[in-house]
Amino acid sequence: MRVYYLSSAPFALSNLSLKRLKISRFSDLNDPFELLAANLENLEHRMAFAAMKTQLNETKGLICFSRTWSNPLLWGHYAEKHTGIALGFDVPDQLLSQVLYTSQRVRIDVDSKTKRPKLDEALVNRLLRTKFVDWKYEDEYRLFVQLDPATKESGLFFQDFSEDLRLAEVVLGPKCELPIDRVRSLLQNDLPHVKVLKARMAFRTFRVTEDRSFRRGASGAQPINPSAQRDEAAQRR
C-alpha cells in the first residue's frame, strides 16, 4: 500500500539523506486520548489504563502515515503550513493498521471477581488504533515498531528505509521553496526510482494536487509555457 509521511522540509531532507524515519512515542503524539479512548469514568480504571500507556510507551513505537496527500488540512497541520514535504512509501498491507474513528468511547469489560478492567490483547489492539471521529481527515494508517534500546540515539528511535518501508515518492508542498531539481539530484544516485512531484492548490476543489508543469521532461523540470497552461487548465479539478 502507498502511504504518506508529512513533515517540515528540513526534517524531510534529513530523512532522505539518512534514509530513515523517526519512530514516534505514544507520550509525544498530539492526541491526548491515545490509548485512553475507553470509557474511564471509574478512577481505578483510569489508573490501570494510565499504567498500561506508560508500559507500552517504553516498549512500542509507531510511524503514522496518511493514505493520501491531497487533503489541505494534512499540509497545514503536519507540513509547516504547506511549506513541507510528503514522503510516499510502499509498505506491505499486513504491516499497516488502519485507524478506527469513533464518536463513542470504547466499552471495556470488567472482571467479575477483581472488578478490574480486562486489559486483554484484543482491547489493547483496538485502543492502539482508535481515535475520535474528528481526526478522520487524516485517513491514518500506523506501522507499529518494537523499540530496541540498543538503537537509541539521543533519546530517539529510528526506522531505516527497507523493502518493508520503500520510499517511492516525494511531494514538495505548494509553498515549499526547495528547487525540485535539487531534490531530484539528491536522490538520483541512491534512490533513482523515486518520483519527485511538486504540489499546488486545486483550482475547482478544496484539494491539493500535482502541479504538472514541474513534471520531469527531457531536461528536467520544464517552465510554464502557453501550451502547458492549456494542458493545466484541462486538468483542473
Nearest Cα to Cα of residue 182 among 70, 103, 85, 73: 85
Neighbours of 33 (CB within 10 A): 15
pTM for this one?
0.87
Is the pLDDT higher at 113 or at 105? 105
Cite the DSSP H helix spans in the chain: 9-18, 43-59, 72-78, 121-127, 180-187, 226-234
Q: Domain residue spans in the chain?
A: 2-234
Is residue 222 pLDDT above 60, yes or no? no
Q: How open is the CA angle 159-91-167, to the nearest 5 degrees?
A: 65
b/e sequence 128-163, b meaning 16+ C-beta within 10 Å: bbbbeeeeeebbbbbbbbeeeeeeeeeeebbbebee
**What digits encode the pLDDT tens for the residues 120-151?**
899 999 999 999 999 999 999 999 999 998 88
CA 87 to chain centroid, in Å, comes to 9
Tracing cell 500500500 back to the chain, one arrives at: 1
- Position 237 confidence tier, pLDDT thresholds 50, 70, 90: low
